[in-house]
Structure 1
Amino acid sequence: MENNLPLLNVGGKARMGCYAAFPGTGPLDARCSGCAHQSPDGSRFVCGKYKTLTGRKGSPIDPGSPACRYFATRPAFNARR
């Protein structure tokens, strides 16, 4: 059986934590810090998609983590609408 999941681009041990999916299963070189689902929680950030999927507020996540499969590019602040 061939593994077609890009889980190997994590660069470290993959852990579920409070991410919507395993970190590293999203676009290559994309980070959680550029995701539209990332929402502030005080001085840290949580995954909004995790809350949508589970109904629970997750623990803060590392914004530098590799993106998961639910990654959605956050629009730029100066983007035209």
Structure 2
Amino acid sequence: MCGQMKTLLDRLNPLYSTDYSFRDIYMIATAAENDESAFEKAYNGLQGWVDCFEKASLKGMVGGGGIDAANTAADHVDAMKKAYELGKKL
């Protein structure tokens, strides 16, 4: 899990004791590695956080592997299509 994601989850923890309104959680991630296992720890970390919020659930995840430089995600058509399809479900 990257530092930015960890910081986000840590900053959202105070919502646990509130009447939070978020329900559906989605994750879009990129990695230089092309293997699906590159996303497992980030996904599991997010799932662990979501499990703490009774009314929320992790609805979908898109992983774009092989994205190893800035501004190259658009070159990965399969990942972009998956992200687009996931977005249509929102």
Which TM-score tier does this pair reach, normalised by the shorter chain?
under 0.3
Which structure has more helix as a fraction of its residues? Answer: 2
- Kindly indicate which of the two structures has a greater share of residues assigned to strand: 2
- Higher-Rg structure is 2
TM-score (norm: length of structure 2)? 0.25
